């Protein structure tokens, strides 16, 4: 078998450590093996690419080379001779804009969002922002678990603004899409054009900002875009799966700006709110559902609004397509698979249980501190996520905002210890029992 060149080894590591959109920056890079003067030459397609990689990724490349056993290597960035060709960048942000907005889903409104004790603060803040963009809370930062309504509120803000102020330009974009557009702009040397196009909007709504973790240049770009919006009193809203102060691999200055306005969370809905959500979704579909069926669903689906909605969708399909009457026995039969999956715990639940078991604040487990007891609890979480939830290393790394090598080390550490430490084995079993009781 042919021995892999140093660049090929380095490239493999980059593929596992970078997001797909960031890794795209390296797809046109060519490299070989280490030269006699201990130099690794990377051929970049143009000056812009060479400058960016040297400025943003040089330290990461050096660290990976050191991990591979080449700590003394010098990296040189060469520019391909024909790499100065201009290309026209495809900017969908401009092309897809309809009625002065981009990315909005019109079926997400304030009218079909059911606020409860779990979300009333976030709902009220979102309404205030929509009524007075750039004035009430800027930025607004909404965080919470999967399927609780963060994205719904984000779209509702945009839809309400465009309805009230028809000339207001609203941009809603996911963080992964934003990173992809930034990478595309960088590759084609159109970064100024891209920033100007984003800044041409009056309201910026960004979904899942936690995916910005580790994307160094995208963070720098967003920092300048945010400052421009904020200084011009234009509204910015972020959603995430965790609070700003729980995020890792995001620069302090950006985390600081996330907290300049209002930070509020959405929790899983209580029983009464779940009942209200189910009744509203049934009414929207013109579906008459017996009270005992509504109560059955509300008892079995506790954490995720999307799963509540999927129950209504399934009942609607069975009733309208197969003419099956909706009653308690029918619901128990046909919704059992959804109830089974809904009863499964989520990563956030595991962190909450580990936090309770070791009497350590959840924020400390999710944070950056390296105290022995915190690292220990964090590694237990990583181990259980892999073994109980079948999560991939890259998913666990993204959840904690850590490097994948840190996750592998943590899992291996627990696996090694549990075989010789009876106390740890008992702790793991007790945590599993606590999870089942949730």
Q: What are 308-340's pLDDT values in tens digits?
A: 988 998 898 888 888 888 999 999 988 887 887
| Domain match, 280 and 388 both | no
- E runs forming strands in 201-285: 203-207, 235-240, 262-266
303, 338 Cβ separation under 8 angstroms: no
Residue 84 counted as domain residue: no
Q: From CA 386, how far away is CA 411, in angstroms rounded?
A: 8
Domain match, 133 and 239 both: yes
Give the chain's length. Answer: 438
Confirm whether 52 is domain-assigned: yes
Residues 47 and 153 in one domain: no
pLDDT confidence of residue 96: 45
Question: Using one digit for the tens of pLDDT, what is the confidence trace for 61-103?
Answer: 888 888 888 777 888 888 876 543 333 333 444 444 445 678 8
The rounded distance, in Å, linking the Cα atoms of 13 and 26 is 12
Asked if residue 40 belongs to a domain, the reply is yes
Lowest-confidence pick of 114-128, 170-184, 353-367, 385-399: 385-399
For the chain, the average pLDDT equals 85
Q: What is the CA radius of gyration of the chain?
A: 25
Residue 107 shares a structural domain with residue 248: yes
In the chain, the number of structural domains is: 4
Residue 410 is part of a domain; what is its CATH number?
Answer: 1.10.1750.10
Residue 11 and residue 71 in one domain: yes
Say what percent of the chain tops pLDDT 90.
35
Mean predicted confidence (pLDDT) in 20-46: 80
Same domain for 301 and 247: no
Q: Which of 266, 296, 315 is the last residue of a domain?
A: 266
Least confident of 109-113, 373-377, 404-408: 404-408
Residue 1 lies in a domain: no
Average pLDDT over residues 260-281: 91
The answer to whether the pTM exceeds 0.85 is: no
Q: Is the pLDDT of residue 241 over 90?
A: no
Owning domain of residue 298: 271-342
pLDDT in tens, 377-427: 999 999 998 887 777 787 788 788 887 888 899 999 999 998 888 899 999
Residue 180 domain-assigned (yes or no): yes
- Among 266, 285, 303, the domain-final residue is 266
Last residue in a domain, options 19, 50, 79: 79
Letter string b/e over residues 8-39, b meaning 16 or more CB atoms within 10 A of that residue's CB: ebbbebbeebbbebbebbbeebebeebeeeee
* CA nearest to 177, candidates 20, 18, 395: 20
In a domain, 92, yes or no: no
Q: How would you list the strands of the sheet with 74-79, edge to edge?
A: 30-31, 39-44, 74-79
């Amino acid at each position: 078998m042919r021995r892999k060149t140093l660049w090929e080894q380095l490239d493999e590591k980059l593929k596992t450590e970078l997001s797909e959109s960031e890794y795209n920056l390296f797809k046109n890079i060519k490299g070989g093996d280490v030269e006699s003067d201990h130099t690794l030459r990377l051929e970049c397609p143009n000056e812009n690419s060479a400058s960016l990689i040297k400025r943003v990724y040089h330290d990461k490349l050096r660290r990976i080379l050191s991990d591979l056993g080449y700590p003394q290597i010098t990296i040189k960035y060469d520019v391909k001779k024909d790499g100065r060709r201009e290309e026209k960048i495809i900017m969908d942000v401009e092309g897809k804009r309809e009625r002065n907005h981009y990315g909005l889903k019109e079926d997400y409104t304030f009218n079909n969002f059911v606020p409860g004790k779990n979300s009333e603060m976030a709902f009220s803040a979102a309404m205030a922002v929509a009524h007075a963009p750039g004035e009430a809370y800027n930025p607004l930062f909404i965080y919470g678990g999967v399927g609780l309504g963060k994205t719904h509120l984000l779209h509702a803000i945009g839809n309400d603004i465009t309805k009230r102020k028809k000339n207001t330009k609203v941009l809603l974009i996911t963080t992964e899409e934003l990173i992809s557009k930034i990478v595309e702009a960088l590759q084609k040397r159109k970064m100024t054009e891209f920033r100007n196009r984003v800044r041409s909007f009056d309201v910026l709504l960004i979904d899942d900002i936690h995916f910005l973790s580790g994307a160094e240049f995208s963070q720098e770009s967003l920092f300048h875009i945010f400052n421009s919006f904020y200084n011009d009193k234009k509204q910015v809203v972020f959603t995430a799966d965790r609070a700003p102060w729980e995020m890792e691999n995001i620069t302090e200055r950006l985390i600081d700006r996330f907290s300049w306005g209002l930070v509020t969370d959405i929790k899983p809905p209580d029983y009464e709110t779940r009942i209200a959500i189910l009744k509203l979704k049934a009414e929207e579909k013109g579906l008459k559902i017996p009270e005992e069926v509504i109560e059955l669903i509300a008892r079995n689906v506790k954490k995720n609004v999307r799963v509540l909605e999927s129950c209504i969708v399934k009942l609607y399909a069975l009733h309208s397509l197969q003419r099956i009457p909706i009653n308690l026995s029918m619901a128990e039969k046909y919704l059992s698979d959804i109830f089974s999956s809904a009863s499964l715990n989520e990563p956030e639940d595991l962190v909450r249980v580990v936090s309770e078991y070791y009497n350590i604040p959840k924020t400390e487990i999710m944070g950056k501190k390296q105290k022995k007891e915190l690292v220990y609890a964090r590694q237990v979480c990583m181990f259980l996520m892999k073994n109980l939830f079948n999560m991939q290393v890259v998913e666990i790394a993204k959840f904690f905002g850590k490097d994948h090598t840190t996750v592998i080390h943590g899992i291996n550490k627990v696996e090694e210890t549990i075989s010789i430490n009876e106390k740890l084995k008992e702790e793991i079993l007790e945590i599993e029992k606590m999870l089942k009781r949730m």
